[in-house]
Amino acid sequence: MVNWIWLGMIVVSVICGAANGRLEQVAEAAFGGAQTGVTVCLGLISILVFWMGLMKIAENAGLVSFLSRLLAPVVRRMFPDVPSDHPAMGYILSNMSANLLGLGNAATPMGIRAMQELQKLNPEPHVATPAMCTLLALNTASITLVPTTMIAIRMNFGSAHPADIVGTTLLATAVATAAALLADRWYRSRSRPSDPPPALPSAKRKGIAPADPAGGEGSAAL
Amino acid sequence: MTIWIERISAWTIPMLIAFIPLYAALKKVPVYETFIDGAKDGFQTAVAIIPHLVGMMTAIGMFRASGALDALIGLARPLLEAIGVPSEVLPLALLRPITGAGSLAFVSDLIKTQGPDTFAAKVAATIQGSTDTTLYVLTVYFGAVGIRNARYALKVGLFSDLVGFFAAVAACWLMFGAM
């Protein structure tokens, strides 16, 4: 699906650009976008390097596995195929708590660490596992207690009650997260029968892998 | 309540930064060496994300510059206006899942031009604050571990954005009433 969206956006852009006489701006925007991509990554480097260093300490001190044991009963039901004492659980929980507290730049490295741990359980390294999709769903809906940025911006422009959007945001984010989890559940249960048998990961990777992404996408498409 | 949560947010990071190494040192972990060891991975992870983000940002940039995004918004406008969505916030429904920086800029501009306490500004702020940028999260999280086939994850993310958009509008109607 990502393949088609990407291709679609580019092709539509060129057609639209030609129709609107803005092809020059479109070409410019392509390189501008590439530059933005690199700039964003450069900004991520410092955050990722720092937090991953700190989290390595937490991991070696046993804090991550402690956290996962402590809260596993709650999250285990969302991630039935991850062993409850696996380090991935600890990172998933750190990621969720950071999101909840509005600590965006701490949440991302923790989520990435969780993905890296989930990848170790993945029989096909290029295809997302159901657990990865659930973690992603949680992060795209990103449940938030305090929308700090929005409050700050409204304060900036002289709002009488800058924080009065906290209630509406909480309601909207809870509904969006519930919708994400439900949709994730639905797709997960639908895709289960066509999942590759876990017994044959190496054969799968060697023989069928190149064709598989397309096949998987097709069967999951609406 | 909100002041409390803000205070917790402000304290969490410094506390974490102090507590984790302290606890580890008590457990006889060589803290500095371990930090360096883990930090190396951080650099590699960030570099691994670059191609993914460049690919996405390029397509998004082109899409916006070509006027295709505006055309799409124009198509959706009459439909959404009919069900009580303030017309000013419409572009946000499409911008929010695609670009975090773009939608933030749009919301800031809307708050500035409409006034921070108008109904449209509150709806926009609620939408902006209640979900994350789906394409960005997908690109970064899956890019970091080299996932190329995202299966149904994108559909789930976009679906929750759509639900979140309408939930935000509904929540604002509930709490702030008509404009």
Interface contact B140-A173, CB threshold 8 A: no
Interface contact A33-B140, CB threshold 8 A: no
CB-CB contact of A92 with A65 (8 Å):
no
Q: Cβ contacts (< 8 Å) between B122 and chain A: which residues? A: 164-165, 168
pLDDT tens, position by position, A34-75: 988 888 888 878 888 888 888 889 888 988 878 777 777 778
pLDDT tens, position by position, B76-128: 788 878 877 888 888 888 888 887 877 888 888 888 888 999 999 999 999 99
B138 touches chain A (CB under 8 A): yes
pLDDT of residue B22: 95
Distance from CA of A81 to the nearest CA of B (A): 17
Q: Which of B6, B26, B45, B75 to mutate to test the interface with A (most CBs of A within 10 A)?
A: B45
Once rounded to an integer, what is the mean pLDDT over residues A193-222?
40
Q: Which residue of A has its CA nearest to B132?
A: A140
Once rounded to an integer, what is the mean pLDDT over residues A169-177?
92
Q: What is the ipTM of this complex?
A: 0.78
CB-CB contact of A54 with B17 (8 Å):
yes
Element containing residue B44 per DSSP (H, E): helix B31-65
Q: Which residue of B has its CA nearest to A179?
A: B160
Q: Please name the member of A30, A149, A163 whose beta carbon is closest to the beta carbon of B2.
A: A163
Dihedral sign, CA of A22, A24, A30, A34? negative
pLDDT of residue B13: 73
User: What is the residue extent of each domain of chain B?
Assistant: 46-176
> Is the model more confident about A63 or about A193?
A63
Q: Please name the member of B35, B144, B150 whose beta carbon is closest to the beta carbon of A54.
A: B35
Distance from CA of A159 to the nearest CA of B (A): 5
B96 CB-contact burial (10 Å; exposed 0-12 / middle 13-18 / buried 19+): buried
pLDDT of residue A184: 93
B73 touches chain A (CB under 8 A): no
- Residue of A59, A45, A38 whose CA lies nearest to A108: A45
Which of A71-80, A96-105, A206-215 shows the lowest mean pLDDT across its residues? A206-215
pLDDT tens, position by position, A110-153: 899 999 999 999 999 899 999 999 999 999 987 777 777 788 78
B48 touches chain A (CB under 8 A): no
Distance from CA of B71 to the nearest CA of A (A): 9
pLDDT of residue A207: 38
Q: Which residue of A has its CA nearest to B40?
A: A49
Distance from CA of A177 to the nearest CA of B (A): 7
Which of A6-20, A80-94, A98-112, A203-217 shows the lowest mean pLDDT across its residues? A203-217
- Residue of B99, B118, B110, B127 whose CA lies nearest to B179: B118
Q: Which residue of A has its CA nearest to B29?
A: A61
Q: Please name the member of A2, A168, A216 whose beta carbon is closest to the beta carbon of B171.
A: A168
| DSSP assigned state of B85 | -
pLDDT tens, position by position, B4-16: 656 666 677 788 8
Band of pLDDT at residue A15, cut at 50, 70 and 90: very high
Show which of residues 90-129 on chain B sit within 8 Å of chain A, judged by CB atoms.
Answer: 97, 101, 104, 107-108, 111-112, 115-117, 121-122, 125-129
AA identity, residue B19: F
Interface contact A179-B164, CB threshold 8 A: yes
- Cα angle vertex B22, ends A43, B13, to 5°? 35
> Is the model more confident about A204 or about B6?
B6
pLDDT of residue B44: 85
Interface contact B160-A140, CB threshold 8 A: yes
d(CA B93, CA B161): 8
